[in-house]
Amino acid sequence: MNVSMGWGPSGPVIKKPGTCESCGKPFACELSLSGCWCSTVTLTDVARAQIRANYKGCLCPACLKQYEG
């Protein structure tokens, strides 16, 4: 696995490349001291259950936002 490190507004950022399980496009998980970009997406309990039922891995920002509610 290829992991890189950089700096963001809140400090160090670890970028882990991945592929969206929904659309197949590449994207990066960007974990920082303030969390990952996905922690800013608000999901209902129903949406979380749908995602867990359909996917085992991460979704890219565009696909995850389709579940936002």
Return the higher-pLDDT residue of 69 and 45: 45
- Tens digit of each residue's pLDDT (9 = 90 or more) over 3-38: 666 666 666 767 778 899 999 999 888 777 777 788
Give yes or no for a contact between 38 and 49, defined as CB atoms under 8 angstroms apart.
Answer: no
Judged against a pLDDT cut of 60, whether residue 1 lies above it is answered with no
Sequence ranges of the domains in the chain: 4-65
CA distance 63 to 23: 7
CA distance 32 to 53: 27
Return the higher-pLDDT residue of 44 and 36: 44
Judged against a pLDDT cut of 80, whether residue 49 lies above it is answered with yes
